[in-house]
Structure 1
Amino acid sequence: MLEATDVRVEFGGRGGRRARAVDGVNLTVAPGEIVALVGESGCGKTTLARTLLGLERPTSGQVSYDGTPLSYTGRRLRAFRRQVQLVLQDPMGSLNPRQTVYEAVAEGPRIHGLPDEEKVVADALSRAGLRPPERFFLRYPHELSGGQRQRVVIAGALALSPKVLIADEPVASLDASVRGEILSLLLRLRDDLGLAALVVTHDLGLAWNIADRVAVMYLGRIVESGPTEDVLTNPQHPYTQALLSVLPESPERIVLTGEPPDPTRIPTGCRFHPRCQLFAATQDAEACRTTPLPTLTATADPQVACHLAPVPTTA
């Protein structure tokens, strides 16, 4: 449904250096599938999501929707955005405080000239769990709870009947009691409407509860991917192991040293080796310092890019 093929996104930096925010990513989201893109802040998750939405143009590589390369001309990009919609992290920040719920949800259908506006808005609010929808038409964001505001944001995306949702930390700003409701809503939308979703998150617990497949990103590149159960119960990459170690049920805490490297100065060899707990404990790991790892492919099978992982890397 949605595919990134060797996508690279670079930004200009100080001193003429280029920051490689996304550095050779292959990723697919199949119809009806929920994929979790996980990693710490600054790893390139949001830049990749923006590129998949057509908000950023890749420096090289290609984004495709339904087998067709994404066109950046106005009319075709507008048609694409009806099919792929964004759900933002902070509903209070993404909703206009001067707009009613009706106006917020109706904005997309008006831009795209959809008929029967009131019915479209009511149906979208109902699917997002705000019933009866008419009760919410004239309310303002400050009159709603955090969970209700996030449902309004989701309704705004659903109003255009998309095939794919890209959700950037969709429950990060919500109370724990509400998080489960929003995750259940996303699963129900997948089951009822056949929606696919890419969920961007740093929370592996969220990925476990909602995702069919997980892609772990570090410093602009996916370093491990596969079915959720395989990746989260038997992580092969030391970075994935470290991310999982912060969960309450983890028997051992792995503390990574230092901060993520500067994306204008990608380390040679394995980009994770300066912080890697396996590399630090290994006497003979010259390949980690000097030998680049191949980019992972877009397969659904488990794969890992690591010289020290117990399974082979995938070229």
Structure 2
Amino acid sequence: MVEQEAGLRAVDLATVFPGRLGRPAAVAVDRVNLDVHTGEIVALVGESGSGKTTLARTLLGLERPTRGRVRFDGRPLAYSMRALRAYRRRVQLVLQDPTGSLNPRHTVYEAVAEGLRIHYGTRPDEQELVADALAYAGLRPPERMFLRYPHELSGGQRQRVVIAGALVLEPEIIVADEPVASLDASVRGEILALLLRLRDELALSALVVTHDLGLAWNIADRVAVMYLGRIVEIGEVDTVLTAARHPYTQALLSVLPESPATTPTVLSGEPPDPARIPAGCRFHPRCPILESGRAERAGVAERCRTEDPPVLDGAGGHQVACHWAHAVS
């Protein structure tokens, strides 16, 4: 893929939540570098608790980073109310649950027009803009949808209305948090095809947050795999998902139906706790490579237990934060 300008960039980003009742602070995002280029779809993948939703919220300005910065269009994100308001016209959020995102008392027209009214007040071309957004989202003819309510729509139609509500502001980037997780399998493909069409026709960039590597395979240009607040592998989707180098990525891939693995890899140990990040490689307590003795044979077992791998720079190329992967490559 040709290197493009990064429209949205996380630079050494960290988001830490203070502990309560004597608990240590939770490091939800830990020194992350990530670029989303113009006209590119990046999938951010990981288990629940890996920090991917907090990273998305920090990129949107909904959480203020403890360290590092968010850059958009070549400039650091400012956190004044006015600056965030302008930023959110250009970077829009699409939530996982369309039912929860839509006010049941608002018609489709009101739901889509809400963003316009918040940012621009009354506009003489409001009806035209709402119709265009609904049409782009695949709800045609759009005028037929204007007076319908969310309970009258299917799950796929509701998700398209949510997407139209983002598109009406003509954003440059959308951040989609599990955009098809609550939809039937028959509808998932339609929504993914819609996101691809929006990228191709509108040059719309997207950061798609998901736990599903299969979804990433179908939609993304690049994939970033996140574990316990840190991106541990990143690269072009075909490269990462056909030649994964990090044991965590390999374990996630092993459970996909199309995986060549004969048996799924079951991770041992406790699920990640951002308040208790282990010393050394943060994945080492659950790492099947370390457990099987392969890290020992490669001469890196002690480094796995005591030395934190370098932070990935988040730019181009296939990168991995793993002592064993570098030792055997």
The reply to whether residue 296 of structure 1 matches residue 303 of structure 2 is: no
Identity of aligned residues (%): 72
Structure 1 stretches (4+) deviating beyond 4 angstroms?
310-313
- 1:260 deviation in Å? 2.1
Distance (Å, rounded) in 1 between the aligned partners of 2:78 and 2:46 = 29
Aligned-partner residue type, residue 93 of structure 1: G
Aligned-partner residue type, residue 279 of structure 2: T
Distance (Å, rounded) in 2 between the aligned partners of 1:72 and 1:19 = 23
- Provide the residue aligned with 1:279 in structure 2: 290
Of 5, 17, 30, 1:11 maps to: 17
Distance (Å, rounded) in 2 between the aligned partners of 1:303 and 1:120 = 42
- 1:261 deviation in Å? 2.9
Within 5 A, what are the aligned runs for 1:36-75? Answer: 36-75=43-82
- Residues 219 and 260, structure 1, Cα contact 8 Å, conserved in 2: no
The reply to whether residue 128 of structure 1 matches residue 128 of structure 2 is: no
**Residues 172 and 16 (structure 1), Cα distance of their counterparts in 2 relative to 1, 3 Å cut:** closer
- 1:299 deviation in Å? 1.5
- 1:259 deviation in Å? 2.9
**Residues 311 and 136 (structure 1), Cα distance of their counterparts in 2 relative to 1, 3 Å cut:** farther
RMSD: 1.2
Of 147, 156, 167, 1:147 maps to: 156
- Provide the residue aligned with 2:212 in structure 1: 203
5+ residue gaps in structure 1? none
SS in 2 for 1:309: helix
Q: How many residues align?
A: 313
- Residues 304 and 312, structure 1, Cα contact 8 Å, conserved in 2: no
Distance (Å, rounded) in 1 between the aligned partners of 2:194 and 2:160 = 9
Aligned-partner residue type, residue 237 of structure 1: H
Distance (Å, rounded) in 2 between the aligned partners of 1:64 and 1:311 = 34
- 1:16 deviation in Å? 5.1
SS in 2 for 1:308: helix
Distance (Å, rounded) in 2 between the aligned partners of 1:190 and 1:312 = 37
Q: How does the TM-score come out when normalised to structure 1?
A: 0.97
5+ residue gaps in structure 2? 1-6
- 1:310 deviation in Å? 4.5
**Residues 100 and 292 (structure 1), Cα distance of their counterparts in 2 relative to 1, 3 Å cut:** same
Moved more, 284-293 or 79-88: 284-293
Deviations 1:26-81 (CA, angstroms, capped at 9, x unpaired)? 00000000000000001000000000000000001000101110000011110100
